[in-house]
Chains A and B, each alone.
Chain A
Amino acid sequence: MQEVARRVFSEQGRPSPTGIRRNWHRFMAAGARLLLDVQSGSLHSLDEAAWGVLEAMEKGKAASQTDGADGVMADLDVLIAEGTLSYPDYPDPMPAALGPGVVKAMCLNVSHDCNMRCGYCFAGAGGFGGERSLMPAQIGCRALDLLFDISGHVRHLDVDYFGGEPLLNMDAVGEITRHGRELEARTGKTLKLTLTTNCYGLTPEVDKFLNDNNIAAVLSVDGRPGVHDGVRRTADGDSTFQRIAGNMLRFVNTRPTGEYYARGTYTRRNLDFVEDVLFLADMGFTSISFEPVVAPPSSPYSIREQDLPRIFDSYDRLVTEMAARRAAGREFRFFHFDLNVAHGPCLAKRLLGCGAGREYVAVTPDGALYPCHQFVGREGFIMGNVWDGIVRPEIGEAFAGAHIYAKPACRDCWARYMCSGGCHANAHEMNGTLMAPYSIGCLITRKRLEAALAYAALQASAPA
């Protein structure tokens, strides 16, 4: 064996198969052999010899008996020396300090009412299990006062107008937005506003308001008309695709540079959701996001384990279709493939993920604070209110304790720094605890990340 290879294994010992499986994630995607170094976040491509050597090492077999072993070992040493590959038995890095929670983002549920009745709605058709109501502008303005106050040194703040359907309460949205811009001017902080809508009530006046006020838009649509109308209908049971598609296209065409996402939910009924993504791309939308439904197992929409192979096929096909369209000059963005591999978030951020209850809270129309929009209405999760602030900090502390090093299912998962432990609300809904992630969600996330990394590799390798 060459001298460089001896250096790694004589100085640090032979890496354990467990460490290799945990920290060197080797996978095939889009016809490429890839290796993610989990601790550094670096992405490598492997030739057949390297694939074989690493496979043998994962199984605890003698790598030196594999073709090309000496050369592969030499490569491993180069990568380890430069830091793009981590010695797999080193412990995970720890951030200097996580510090106390600082709320810097709010989801304003400006409407606990909706003009649609989507079959899979986690918000109970808008009411979140309670009475239908709209947020008075005064409550929203007070929420922003609180946000600007308790965000302390953080300068970039995020607020999402959400619901229910926020367009049912545009007067309040307008007043809250004006107040937010005044707070920006007064404090020097930056407030990024987003509005999530079902587009049913989107009008040219609303288009203009969103554009004039630089509000990002998340536009809900599920793709092909039959798929969309199979789930997303009005309160009277009417189909909605034709109307919302027209509204969406008109709106998007008024903001050539403004931020938006056409955002869909896929369910058991459209496991071939790649067709829905491509349908929206063919309509002309260039920023698209699709999410798996989260529904109890009894729901006819819920994703079951036996549905996963078809979902995985959809992600695989999306990679190749997106690469082909990019090469043909018809590129579009898919939210979850938009990985920032080289300059993504820091380690501290990745331990805690979304920051629910600690950096992010949801506000109900009557001013109650919850850890996030999905916890609204769940018993025991009211953290405070917009007048008194957070009065039950122990709730946020429980969320802070549910980090990836603390959760058994996350500790040894190769995706831990990219997924960051998954959605707390899904974990709580499916398993009754923040400490055990939703297992089907984990399987989908891992596949989606592999696909995203494969797409990143294709982009990095494509001619400029």
Chain B
Amino acid sequence: MVSTDTRKETKHIRTIIAADLKGTAATGGCRECQTSCQSACKTSCTLGNQACRK
């Protein structure tokens, strides 16, 4: 679980985007997301630009 609400200050490392991919190991797999090679790539699958529809 990621929570940056009550975090201590950091001095040298600044979080730009907090994500919780690990947490989706237990909750994911519904398969409602778009098929990744079905739009503007068609030759080089990349999943990072897909969104979760949950």
A→B interface (CB under 8 Å): 34-35, 39-47, 49-50, 53, 68, 71-72, 74-76, 78-79, 82-84, 86, 93-99, 102, 104-105, 107, 122, 154-156, 158, 160, 162, 192, 194, 196, 216, 218, 261, 263, 265, 287, 289, 291-294, 335-350, 353-356, 359-360, 372-374, 417-423, 426, 441, 444-445, 448-449, 452, 456-457, 460-461
- Given A158-B35, A192-B34, residue A42 in contact with residue B18 (CB < 8 A): yes
Q: Closest residue to B29 on the A side, CB-wise? A: A348
- B12, A261: Cβ atoms closer than 8 Å: no
Q: Please give, as numbers and ranges, the residues of chain A lying within 8 Å of B47 by CB-CB distance.
A: 344-345, 349-350, 353, 417-420
Nearest 10 A/B pairs, CB to CB: A346-B28, A41-B19, A105-B35, A346-B24, A261-B40, A289-B40, A348-B29, A41-B21, A418-B48, A50-B12
Q: Which of B19, B31, B42 is in CB contact (< 8 Å) with A344?
A: B19
A98, A337, A418 pick with most chain B CB within 10 angstroms: A418
Q: Please give, as numbers and ranges, the residues of chain B lying within 8 Å of A338 by CB-CB distance.
A: 49
Distance (whole angstroms) from the CB of B11 to the closest CB of chain A: 5
Distance (whole angstroms) from the CB of B3 to the closest CB of chain A: 6
- Given A79-B13, A346-B52, A456-B16, residue A419 in contact with residue B25 (CB < 8 A): no
- Given A105-B35, A360-B37, residue A347 in contact with residue B46 (CB < 8 A): no
Q: Which of B30, B36, B39, B44 is in CB contact (< 8 Å) with A216?
A: B39
- Per the 8 Å Cβ criterion, residues 4-38 of B in contact with A are 4, 7-8, 10-38
Q: Which of B24, B25, B29, B35 is in CB contact (< 8 Å) with A99?
A: B29
Q: Please give, as numbers and ranges, the residues of chain A lying within 8 Å of B15 by CB-CB distance.
A: 42-44, 79, 84
B→A interface (CB under 8 Å): 1-4, 7-8, 10-54
Q: Closest residue to B48 on the A side, CB-wise? A: A418
A345, A356, A456 pick with most chain B CB within 10 angstroms: A345
- B22, A107: Cβ atoms closer than 8 Å: no
- A79, B28: Cβ atoms closer than 8 Å: no
- Given A340-B50, A417-B21, A420-B36, residue A353 in contact with residue B10 (CB < 8 A): no
- A40, B19: Cβ atoms closer than 8 Å: yes
- A43, B17: Cβ atoms closer than 8 Å: yes
Q: Which of B7, B10, B17 is in CB contact (< 8 Å) with A460?
A: B17
- Given A42-B2, A291-B41, residue A347 in contact with residue B17 (CB < 8 A): no
- B13, A35: Cβ atoms closer than 8 Å: yes
- A344, B32: Cβ atoms closer than 8 Å: no
- A49, B12: Cβ atoms closer than 8 Å: yes
Distance (whole angstroms) from the CB of B19 to the closest CB of chain A: 4
Q: Please give, as numbers and ranges, the residues of chain A lying within 8 Å of B8 by CB-CB distance.
A: 78
- A344, B39: Cβ atoms closer than 8 Å: no
Q: Which of A40, A50, A192, A354 is in CB contact (< 8 Å) with B45?
A: A354
Q: Please give, as numbers and ranges, the residues of chain A lying within 8 Å of B1 by CB-CB distance.
A: 83
Q: Please give, as numbers and ranges, the residues of chain A lying within 8 Å of B51 by CB-CB distance.
A: 340, 343-345
Distance (whole angstroms) from the CB of B28 to the closest CB of chain A: 2
Distance (whole angstroms) from the CB of A101 to the closest CB of chain B: 10
Q: Please give, as numbers and ranges, the residues of chain B lying within 8 Å of A75 by CB-CB distance.
A: 10-13
- Given A75-B13, A218-B40, residue A39 in contact with residue B22 (CB < 8 A): yes
CB-defined A-B contacts under 8 Å, sample of 14: A42-B17, A47-B11, A71-B11, A84-B15, A84-B18, A86-B22, A95-B29, A335-B39, A343-B19, A344-B21, A344-B51, A346-B28, A350-B21, A355-B36
C-alpha gap A190/B36 in the complex (Å): 17
Distance (whole angstroms) from the CB of A14 to the closest CB of chain B: 18
Other CB < 8 Å A-B pairs besides A53-B12, A93-B22, A93-B25, 18 of them?
Answer: A44-B14, A44-B16, A75-B10, A83-B23, A95-B28, A154-B32, A156-B34, A335-B49, A345-B47, A345-B51, A346-B24, A347-B22, A347-B28, A359-B35, A426-B43, A444-B44, A457-B16, A457-B17
- A360, B35: Cβ atoms closer than 8 Å: yes
- B29, A336: Cβ atoms closer than 8 Å: no
- Given A40-B2, A83-B3, residue A218 in contact with residue B39 (CB < 8 A): yes
